[in-house]
Amino acid sequence: MKVTYDNDIKTEVLNDKKIVILGYGSQGYAHSNNLKDSDFDVTVGLRQGSGSFEKLRRSNMPGAAIEEALQDADLVMMLLPDEHQPTVYEQYVKPNLKAGASLGFAHGFNVHFEQINPRDDINVFMVAPKGPGHTVRSTYTEGSGVPCLVAIHQDVTGDTKQQAYAYASAIGGGRAGIIETTFKEETETDLFGEQAVLCGGTAALVQAGFETLVEAGYAPEMAYFECLHELKLIVDLMYEGGINTMRYSISNTAEYGDLTRGNRLVTKDTKAAMKDILQEIQNGQFAKEYVDDCRNDYQTLLQLRGAHAQHPIETVGEQLRGMMPWIKKKPLVDQTIN
């Protein structure tokens, strides 16, 4: 697998292009500000009445209503939530984007599952940072970046790949490495990682560990430190050097417990459940379920979000984090600006 870095990328392919970012959430904030700091012509397009116009003003970022922003746009990046993109594409992008322009995505969901069927006279590519927008921005400002995946869906003008790599480089991806993939591969692996390991699996494991200790009579504060707070320390070690580096750094007691007990939690049944989750992603079942819930005013998402927000680990954690002010000295997430 080839990994491409800044030295092998010609970013001048974007020099004379008007780049429009649709959306100013986590990814929109990061991409637009990184592009601006990389000296490219970037404008943020928002729907009329969007509360993000005030965030644009505070960050001194050029912005306009979507219809105005799309005029003469050369490259449009769709960074709205997945569920809003099809409507915005049909209402604004499809009738207004000029032929030969480029349409970019940071996730392959809508193209792969055919929620969006792009016009055949435009370039279509993907630049998917392997990290949340807040990290895309923070690493860029520190002089590094987040690895990016690049994929090409349609190449009308013959230089779509060059544009995609240049865009990835401009937001910091070329500092960390860029890998070429497909919309299908990125979408299915990304959804699986989120559901089975990074978000769903990890959050469920942390909550179950917390509950097990509290139900056994241990203090909730102790349970929080052992099952959530220290998780960052372990993940940082794994991030730096893999699982073996983490095991090298912990005590022999911890390593022995890891190697002899971990597979009692993640069993053949766990892996079978992971395979079921992957199959639901591959056959489109998850996509249909999610799209249906969005159209039903997010009833399932909002109900589950509210229930999990009331979990005791959140209450205890908020109290304990309030006693550790250094955590918030340089926050990854500042909702007033991103």
CA dihedral 162, 163, 169, 173 (to 10 degrees): -90
Q: Report the alpha-carbon angle 60-178-117, nearest 5.
A: 75
Residue labelled with tokens 């707070």: 229
Tell me how far apart the alpha carbons of residues 52 and 35 are, in angstroms, rounded to a whole number: 18
| Widest distance between CA atoms in the chain | 66
Q: What are phi and psi of 156, to 5 degrees?
A: -85, -40
146 DSSP β-pair partners: none
How far is CA 168 from its chain centroid? 14
Collapsing DSSP states into helix, strand and coil, what is residue 4?
strand
Residue 107 annotated among the catalytic residues of the structure: yes
The amino acid that residue 75 corresponds to is L
Residue from 31, 107, 112, 153 carrying the catalytic annotation: 107
The answer to whether 159 touches 53, Cβ cutoff 8 Å, is no
148 DSSP β-pair partners: 129, 178
Burial of 213 (C-beta count, 10 Å sphere; 0-12/13-18/19+): middle
The catalytic site residues sit at 107
